[in-house]
Amino acid sequence: MLNNIYNIFFIPEIFLACSSFVCLLFGLFLKKNAFRQTSNLAVFVLLLTILLVYYDSESNFANYKSLFSHSSFINFFKILALLGSIASIIISKDYFLGIKLKNFEIPVLFLFSTLGMMLMIASNNLMSMYLAIELQSLSLYVAAAIKRDSISSAESGVKYFILGALSSGILLYGFSLIYGFTGSMNFDDISFYLSKYDNLNLGLIFGLVFVMVGLAFKVSAVPFHMWTPDVYEGAPNSITGFFAIVPKIAAVALIYRFCLVPFGNFYLEWSQIILFLSIASMFLGAVAAIAQSNIKRLLAYSSIGHIGYILIALVAANDDGIKAASIYMFSYMIMNVAIFAILLSLKVKNEYLINISDLKGLSKSNPIVSLSISIIMLSMAGIPPFIGFFGKFYVFIAAIEQELYMLSVLGVLASVISAFYYLRIIKIMYFDESKSEGIINFQISFQSKIILSLSLFVIICFIFYPSLLINISASLTI
Amino acid sequence: MIDWPLVSVIIFLPLIGALIILFIKEDELTSINIKWAALLATLGTFILSLILWLQFDYSNPSYQYEEKFKWFDDFNFFYHVGVDGISLFMILLSTFLTPLCILASWNNIKKRVKEYMLSFLFLETVMIGMFASIDILLFYIFFEAVLIPMYLIIGIWGGNRRIYASFKFFLYTLLGSVLMLIAIIVMYRNTSSMSIEFLQGNYFSYNTQLFLWLAFFASFAVKIPMWPFHTWLPDAHVEAPTAGSVILAGVLLKMGGYGFIRFSLGMLPEATEFFIPLIMTLSIVAIVYTSLVALAQTDIKKLIAYSSVAHMGIVTIGIFLVNQQGLEGAMMQMISHGLVSAALFLCVGVIYDRMHTREIEFYGGLVQRMPLYATVFMIFMLGSVGLPGTSGFIGEFLVIVGAFKFSSYVVIGAAFGIILSAVYMLYLYKRIIFGTITNNKLADILDINTREKIILIPLAISVILLGIFPNLFLDPMRLSLELIITNYEIANAK
């Protein structure tokens, strides 16, 4: 099986881990421009990792005694996370230089957190799952607090850390209950053991609920969402961008795998929890975002709402659901990359844009940017012909396939409520008369421009050739 | 027959115009180029759509000029467009009114000309696309995409309360259409087909039909609009710029009627039979109530907006009579209302451009200074009242003839509404046009200029043409409507 010991370096995760250390040393020994060079190297490393994931053959020697698993679903989400992480490193480079935060550790932290996410997505064992989550979260705690002289950044880091540690504790307790009652940590073994029973005993139900709480915290589903707006608001904008784009991908993949692999036969037990999380997230995300004046808090609530829709597809728990989740997650990533690429380049009086009301008059001073923001907002609201609509459409197809009519109707109602605050941003840009014009500056680097144009292209042109993504997502198996 | 994709060209020509405009840099000098580009694109679309009519095969009840491509690999979703007798005139109405709208906004839109023309061209594409699509998903995408340009048109170029009106318009209609999305998915799940052509029939169980019908009703009743879902309409009409009101009244309201004919009648016949009393009640209430409300208005645009609700009440009665006269009358009423109310809004625009107010009190005695204006306004006013010889008469007459077969109570309600419509329109005309000029500001108001003549005279001609030669319009749609009625009767005879 192992023809050559060097082949081990071509396993994507091992490659990424080694390269992350190389990046760290690289940054350490550079005298000038350490941040910029390390970022470039990090992007390069991530690109190579994508190639490795893509060409990673079906040889299962990377399983480490089935600590990790291997499937098309896993690969898809790994590539999604890697793409998101590349995009967010590129779009945040200029921002970091702009606020004079030139620690070369930042891209390295992103690399480690991405590594954690890849392991999370692939994990097939409670232990490896926990370790992967911790690797991912620890890097993110540090990243949130990276701006050491800023009180809000430190606050958000500490908040994230304390709540994250609490949720990890709950998660671990759930794991221990599951281990205690099934005698195994392996997903497949748990599934095999449980297949002998018709229903779960009380201990296992407790374990399941505890794990669900921990995972809900990671995907920031209501009522475990409290940290999201605060952390989004406090962290530097580009870190917020990373938070919004990447960890959600991994957490969603994980919650899907955890529900469908070990507990696949106990749909009724976990679907009630997910159902509640989904409805609560959609409505809270829609209603709470209306009153926000800070664009980062608004996007936090918007992401909570989006999680609600993805969880609908999980409640559906069929092949269409997996397809819907991957399409939705893809559209979610693209839309967030686009909006953050713009936000990280907008300056109001030499400060980066925070208040939504500062967008006033943007349509006059910068028509292309305001048009782009409008398109992204309409897409997030799920208005055709943009990609966001197709995400929602597939989610509802999956739900109706499972005869979840009530949930679908609630979902579309929440989407109407949420349309209000997306439209409000367009209203501020286009309808409100601004007296002071030209205070908004839009400066974007060439690389971010490419990322932005690509993502806008996908948002607008998805409708013309949807089959490309849909064929891939239809072939995914969990 | 034509061997090139005529329908697709008609759908996407405005969008190509929009792309060209996107690359014209806007400043004082080039804004005229933007206007000309928009006008040429819309005129070209109109001329092409005339070919649709000239080459139309009257003896074929189903779709013509069909184009079909596989669109999604995993489901049976197609890019499938075509034209039949029902959609033909809806498309013509859209392509006819849009160039007039561009002309009507020639001088009075001064800010953001580029975005304005972009919105209108995009709007035209989605309107035509919606009427031409045979795939329900395609229909839905166009149906909802209409909201985007209309939201911008009301919100950017509208009046004082434009923000309130634009949000109300968007959210109200979105709420209706998302429920339709659920219904569409349920239909797909039951039949594995999204073809409007295929689904014309009776494919769903009775209970499913009832729920589907209600979901579609939520969407179309808001759009058309029926009482009590009409409250967005007066706001949107009053706040929208003139051309926005024209499109709103001329085409967007017809989307509701079109949807009722295609979806409710065509696909859910048994549920339609069940809900006919509801529709009739709501329609009669709408006709009488909104006519009375219109009588009390002090704003000209609001008056015409309420009269629209009343006229659409006649349309819904006609549609849900489900007989030849009723449906033909409803279609004629939709076309006629599309022309007449559009023209009335344009007429209001003429005096609004001069005086910047729409208060009825402000005007009076315009006939002294604007004889030509008084003449064309009269033609449209009489068209709205339904005087024989104008387009309005044909529609109302046919609906009432059809209603006699159904119930004489409905006839009484509809006729009462028609009398009321004469009251409020004549009263409006008397207050604005007749009498002596009492307001000094009106002393040197100018009569309509060449541009306004170019806009209003074709409309006046078509209103009279429709009234004198209704068969020109009724013949192409007759077989398509008969097909729907036959399907409906077969389904309910079981």
ipTM at complex level: 0.91
Put simply, the answer to whether A409 touches B179 (Cβ < 8 Å) is yes
A408 and B182 within 8 Å at the Cβ level: the answer is: yes
**A438-468: pLDDT as tens digits:** 677 888 889 999 999 999 999 999 999 888 8
Q: Which of A40-44, A115-119, B432-436 has the lowest mean pLDDT?
A: B432-436
Query: How far from A112 is each of A15, A69, A101, A142, A143, CA to CA, in Å?
Result: 12, 20, 19, 11, 11
Residue in B151, B161, B204, B205 to test binding to A, most A beta-carbons within 10 Å: B151
Euclidean distance between CA atoms B365 and B439, whole angstroms: 9
CA neighbor of A129 nearest in space, from A253, A299, A9: A253
Domain-wise residue ranges, chain A: 272-478
Nearest CA in chain A to B212: A405
- Interface of A to B at Cβ within 8 Å reads 323, 363, 367, 378, 383-385, 389, 393, 396-397, 400-401, 405, 408-409, 412-413, 415-416, 419-420, 423, 426-427, 430-431, 463, 466-467, 470-471, 474
Instruction: Please tell me the predicted confidence (pLDDT) of residue A436.
Output: 62
pLDDT at B236 over 70: yes
A351-365, B322-336, B388-402, B463-477: lowest mean pLDDT where? A351-365
% of chain A residues with pLDDT over 90: 59
CB contact under 8 A, A400 and B185: yes
| Pairwise CB contact (< 8 Å): A470 & B189 | no
Beta strands in B135-261 (DSSP E): none
Q: Is pLDDT of B228 > 70?
A: yes
Among residues of chain A, what percentage have pLDDT more than 70? 96
Give Cβ neighbours of residue A269 (< 8 Å, ≥ 6 apart). Answer: A199, A200, A205, A208, A263
Which chain A residue has the Cα nearest residue B144? A384
pLDDT range class, residue A59, cuts 50, 70, 90: low
Over residues A380-395, the pLDDT tens digits come to 999 988 999 999 999 9
Please tell me what DSSP assigns to residue A199: S
- Tell me the helices (H) and strands (E) count for chain A, helix number first: 20, 3
Residue bearing the bigger pLDDT, A211 or A363: A211
Looking at residue A48, its pLDDT comes to: 93
Q: Which residues contact B434 (CB under 8 A, 6 or more apart)?
A: B364, B365, B367
Kindly report the nearest CA distance between residue B391 and chain A, in angstroms.
Answer: 36
- Closest by CA position to A214, among listed A154, A165, A176: A165
Please indicate whether, in this complex, the C-beta atoms of A385 and B72 are within 8 angstroms of each other. Answer: no
Give chain B positions within 8 Å (CB) of A475.
none
Confidence of residue A69 (pLDDT cuts 50, 70, 90): confident
| A61: confidence class by pLDDT, cuts 50, 70, 90 | low
Rounded-to-integer distance, Cα A470 and Cα B37, Å? 37
pLDDT tier, A180 (very low <50, low <70, confident <90, very high otherwise): very high
- Taking contacts as CB-CB distances below 8 angstroms, the residues of chain A near B117 are none
pLDDT of A302 > 90? The answer is yes
Of A405, A419, A430, the CB nearest to B152: A430
**What is the rounded average pLDDT for all residues in chain A?**
89
Cβ contact A419–B74 (<8 Å): no
* Helices B85-104, B6-22: inter-axial angle, 10-degree rounding: 20
> Hey, which of A62-66, A348-352, B450-454 has the most confident mean pLDDT?
B450-454
CB count in 10 Å sphere of residue B292: 15
Alpha carbon of B240: minimum distance to chain A alpha carbons (Å):
13
Compute the distance between CA of residue A161 and CA of residue B136 in angstroms, rounded to an integer: 49
> CA-CA distance, B75 to B94, in Å (whole number)?
31
Helix/strand/coil for A352? strand
Q: Indicate if the pLDDT at residue B290 is higher than 50.
A: yes
Identity of the residue in B141, B170, B181 whose CB atom sits nearest the CB atom of A412: B181
Q: Give the H or E element holding residue B78.
A: strand B78-83
Test the A interface: residue of B23, B114, B174, B214 with most A CBs within 10 Å = B174
Q: Which chain A residues have a beta carbon less than 8 Å from that of B174?
A: 383, 416, 419
Q: What is the pLDDT of residue A474?
A: 87
Q: Which helix (H) or strand (E) holds B69?
A: strand B64-70
Which residues have a Cβ under 8 Å from the Cβ of A162 and sit 6 or more positions away?
none
- A127 half-sphere exposure, CB direction, 13 A CA radius: 8
Yes or no: say if B6 and B48 are a contact pair by the CB < 8 Å rule: yes
First-to-last alpha carbon distance for chain A, in angstroms, is 25
pTM: 0.93
Mark residue B83 as left, alpha or beta (left: phi above 0; alpha: psi -120 to 50; beta: remaining): beta
pLDDT band, very low/low/confident/very high, at B284 (cuts 50, 70, 90): very high
Whether A277 contacts A220, CB under 8 Å: no
Which chain A positions have a beta carbon within 8 Å of B181's beta carbon? 393, 396, 412
Which is nearest to A21 in space by CA: A37, A42, A7?
Answer: A42
Contact check, Cβ <8 Å, B71/A419: no
Distance in Å, alpha carbon of A416 to nearest chain B alpha carbon: 6
SS3 B361: coil
- Say if residue A297's pLDDT is above 90: yes
Chain centroid to Cα A232, Å, comes to 13
pLDDT value of position B289 = 92
Residue A1 confidence (pLDDT): 46
pLDDT band at A58 (very low <50, low <70, confident <90, very high): low
B56 has a pLDDT exceeding 90: no
CA closest to A364 among chain B residues: B112
Maximum CA pair distance of chain B?
70
